[in-house]
Amino acid sequence: MSDHPDATVRGDTDLDVVDAADRQEARVASATRLADIESQPLASRAQAFGEVHDELRSVLEGTTGDTGQGGR
């Protein structure tokens, strides 16, 4: 299940389960990716950050909402 106190509000299912090791691995991968982007020339950096933005937006738009406990 989710770490959220009321997982049903967010629409979590067993398919959304991610363990702590997976979360840590994702953090490391994200930090590495961002560090790589930061080392690029400005024009390349802008494009790469735009791609990260688009990916994150698509993930967030795919969620069920944030009107539950702790949401908007």
Inter-residue long-range contacts of 22-31, CB under 8 Å, 24+ positions, other chains counted: none
Residue 11 placed within a domain: no
Residue 26 placed within a domain: yes
| pTM (whole model) above 0.75 | no
Report pLDDT digits (tens) over 33-44. 999 999 999 999
Report pLDDT digits (tens) over 1-58. 445 554 444 454 444 557 888 888 989 999 999 999 999 999 999 999 999 999 999 9
The first and second tokens of residue 72, run together, are: 């908007």
Domain count, the chain: 1
**CA 21, 69, 16 angle in degrees (round to 5)?**
35
Residue 10 placed within a domain: no
Residue 30 placed within a domain: yes
In terms of residue numbers, what domain contains 26?
A: 20-61
